[in-house]
Amino acid sequence: GHRTVFAKLKQGDFTWWAPVNIDVEEPVKIVAEQEQTQNGLSVTLKNQGVAVAGKLLVNKGNNASSKALDIPANGSVEIQIPASSVASGTNLVRFEYGNGHFVEQNIINWNVVPVAGSEWRKIDLSAAYNDQVTNIFKNKYMSPRPASPTLQLPLQGIGNWCYPLTTANIDDTGLRSVAGSKNEFSIPNGVSFLTPSDPAKKNIVFTSQWDNYPDSVSIPLNGRSSHAYLLMAGSTNPMQSRLDNGEVLISYTDGTSERLALRNPETWWPIEQDYYVDGFAFTTDYPRPYRVNLKTAEVSRQFKKYYGIKGFSSYAIDGGAATVLDLPLNPTKELKELKLKTLANDVVIGLMSVTLQR
C-alpha cells in the first residue's frame, strides 16, 4: 500500500524533514474490475518479479476451485473463473506460490446467482430483535456526549449544525407487506430473508455506542455454511467516513472467525440515502450493494428516484433502505455464533436478517 518516509534535509543553515511517498507492492498482484459479469469472475495476476509457479484458489472448503498457474517474469496471466465456481457476492481469490507465499483478495460479483442445489437456512432473529427499524431517528440519543461546548450530532441521530432539526422518513410498510404470511422476501439473486410482516413486531437488532442500545449483540449459530447473507440497516455520518463503523464476526467452534468490516463508504451505507458517487473525488472504491427500499420493497443496486433533504442530501430514499451484505465462510468448520458490534461513535448499526448458504 501507500507509505511515507521522512528524510532529513539540510541546505545552508536550514534543516527540515521532507516526506517521500512510496508504494509497497506484493511481488504478485491480483487485479479485477469492480463490476463483474454474470459469466463469472475475470481476474488478472500480474507478476512484478521472477517467474513463479503456483496455485489459484477460489473460496474455501471442500468446494473450493483450484487451478495450477505459471506466471512468467514481469508478465501477467488472465483467468476466467466460471459462474459455477463463483458465489453470489464476495469471493475470496488466493494465489499460493513459492515457499509459503500467497496473495489474496476479495472480489465481489452480485451479477451471478447462487449455485443450483444450494441448501438455505434462514436464521430466526425474533428473540434478538430490540426495536423497529422505523424508530432509528425517533429516539433521543442523549449519552454519552461531551460536557464542553462542541458541534455535536443532533439528538435524533441525524443532521448537522446548520440543520439541527433534520430528520428522514423511514417507512417499512412495503417490506412488511411483501413479507406476507411467510414472513420472508427475496432479492434478485434468489436469496431469501426472514422478516416479520406484522407492523406491531420488532424487526431489527440495533447496536450502538449510544446508551440507547448495547454496543454488541451475539447470536448463537450451529451447523456449517459456505456463505452468510445479511440484511442490515443503520446510520453513518461524514465524520465516520473511511473507517470501520462496526463489524460482523462469525466464529467457529475451533476458535477461529471470519470478519466483515462495516466501513463507510465501502460496505456501510446510511439508511436514509445513497452515497453521491461521481467516480472522481467521490467514490466508494467498491461495487454497489443491493439495497432494499423499505417503503416499496424495491430491490436495486442503483435507484432511479431520489428526493432532497434540505441542507443534508440530494440522494435521500423515501422510506429509507436496508443494505444486503455478505461474508464467505469455511464450510468445513462448525459455526458457533454471530457477533454484531458497533465500533464508531455517533452511529447506529442494525441487523434485520441472516441467511446461511450450504
Q: What is the mean pLDDT of residues 45-74?
A: 91
pLDDT at 149: 87
Question: What percent of the chain clears pLDDT 90, i.e. is strictly above it?
Answer: 94
Residues of the chain with CATH 2.60.40.2950: 28-109
Q: Quote the mean pLDDT of the chain.
A: 96
pLDDT at 324: 99
Q: Where on the phi/psi map is residue 320: left (φ > 0), alpha (ψ -120 to 50), or beta?
A: left
Other Cβ atoms within 10 Å of 291 Cβ, number: 23
* Tens-digit pLDDT profile for residues 292-309: 999 999 999 999 999 999
- The type of residue at 136 is I
84: pLDDT strictly greater than 70: yes
pTM beyond 0.95: the answer is: no
Q: How far from the centroid of its chain's Cα atoms is residue 144's Cα?
A: 27
For 28-109, CATH number out of 3.10.450.50, 1.20.140.10, 3.30.930.10, 2.60.40.2950 equals 2.60.40.2950
Q: What is the mean pLDDT of residues 319-334?
A: 97
pLDDT at 135: 99
63: pLDDT strictly greater than 80: no
* Tens-digit pLDDT profile for residues 203-230: 999 999 999 999 999 999 999 999 999 9
Q: What is the mean pLDDT of residues 24-53?
A: 95
Nearest-CA neighbor of 203 among 213, 194, 192? 194
117: pLDDT strictly greater than 90: no
116: pLDDT strictly greater than 70: yes
pLDDT at 48: 93
* Tens-digit pLDDT profile for residues 184-193: 999 999 999 9
Q: What is the mean pLDDT of residues 116-123?
A: 93
Cβ(136)–Cβ(142) below 8 Å: no
132: pLDDT strictly greater than 70: yes
pLDDT at 1: 83
Q: Give the per-residue SS3 of 225-287.
A: CCEEEEEEEECCCHHHECEEEEEEEEEECCCCEEEEEEEECCCCCCCCECCCCCCCCCCCCCC
Could you tell me the pLDDT band of residue 25, with boundaries at 50, 70 and 90? Answer: confident
